[in-house]
């Protein structure tokens, strides 16, 4: 889905053909990204919030629209001060996860407050360990939670130091009460370019 715009006369809209299952559709999410739904309205893929940058890394105004079957990226590039070429590269993630990517500012904010970042993850996880109670399983749960919190803080630090962003991958099943805790401990963290 990489788009390169090399002059001010280039189009300002770009259609991305995405395979949508029969009975499914594309919808724009509240944050400006998109999600591909199957016939049962279950998400099967996600497209991150669109971005576009010019040759000097200046952010260019961009957004998605859809007719339900085609995803269209609008890129307002023909404005004063833009240096060509412009690159736009929407990122599509397939699988049974929801991907949330923090901005550079949000990542740096949490990097400056590692205890606060760890607490965001540890508090609900700690509640799960508390439900398990004392004993081997409870202590194992607590130890695993400590490792996962450290992993989160390390990922935030690496993202901030590399001028990247923290991405959190959350299993869709986390919304099911029966699988909440298993899914919660399956949340993963990674550093992405942004």
Is residue 179 pLDDT above 60, yes or no? no
User: What is the average per-residue pLDDT within 28-40?
Assistant: 86
pTM of this prediction exceeds 0.95: no
pLDDT tens per residue across span 142-172: 666 667 677 778 888 888 888 888 877 776 5
User: What distance in Å separates the CA atoms of residue 62 and residue 82, rounded to the nearest whole number?
Assistant: 14
Q: What is the pLDDT of residue 162?
A: 85
Q: What is the pLDDT of residue 63?
A: 95
Q: What is the pLDDT of residue 51?
A: 86
User: What is the average per-residue pLDDT within 101-107?
Assistant: 81
Q: What is the pLDDT of residue 65?
A: 97
Angle subtended at Cα 172 by Cα 170 and Cα 176, rounded to the nearest 5 degrees: 115
pLDDT tens per residue across span 43-79: 787 787 888 888 888 889 999 999 999 999 999 999 9
Q: What percent of the chain stands above pLDDT 90?
A: 20
63 CB contacts (<8 Å, ≥6 apart)? 32, 50, 73, 74
Q: What is the pLDDT of residue 74?
A: 96
Q: What is the pLDDT of residue 64?
A: 95
User: pLDDT band for position 174 (50/70/90)?
Assistant: very low
Is residue 91 pLDDT above 70, yes or no? no
Q: What is the pLDDT of residue 122?
A: 55
Q: What is the pLDDT of residue 75?
A: 95
User: pLDDT band for position 92 (50/70/90)?
Assistant: low
Closest CA to 120 of 134, 100, 95, 96: 100
Average pLDDT over the chain, rounded to an integer: 77
Cα-Cα end-to-end distance for the chain = 16
Sheet with 62-66, strands from edge to edge, namely 13-17, 70-75, 62-66
Cis peptide before 194 (omega within 30 of 0): no
User: What distance in Å separates the CA atoms of residue 76 and residue 80, rounded to the nearest whole number?
Assistant: 11
Name the β-bridge partners of 188. 169
pLDDT tens per residue across span 113-152: 876 665 655 555 555 565 555 666 555 666 666 676 777 7
């Amino acid at each position: 889905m990489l788009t390169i715009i090399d002059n001010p006369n280039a189009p300002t809209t770009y259609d991305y053909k995405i395979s949508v299952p029969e009975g499914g559709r594309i919808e724009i999410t509240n944050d400006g990204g998109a999600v591909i739904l199957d016939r049962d309205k279950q998400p099967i893929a996600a497209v991150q919030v669109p971005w576009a940058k010019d040759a000097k890394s200046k952010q260019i105004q961009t957004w998605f629209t859809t007719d339900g079957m085609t995803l269209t990226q609008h890129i307002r590039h023909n404005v004063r001060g833009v240096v060509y070429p412009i690159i736009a590269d929407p990122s599509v993630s397939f699988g049974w996860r929801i991907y949330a990517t923090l901005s550079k500012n949000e990542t740096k904010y949490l990097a400056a407050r590692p205890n606060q970042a760890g607490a965001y993850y540890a508090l609900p996880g700690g509640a799960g360990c508390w439900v398990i109670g004392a004993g081997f399983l409870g202590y194992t749960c607590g130890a695993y939670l400590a490792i996962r919190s450290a992993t989160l803080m390390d990922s935030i630090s690496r993202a901030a130091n590399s001028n990247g962003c923290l991405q959190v991958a959350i299993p869709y099943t986390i919304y099911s009460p029966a699988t909440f805790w298993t899914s919660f401990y399956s949340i993963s963290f990674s550093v992405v370019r942004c």
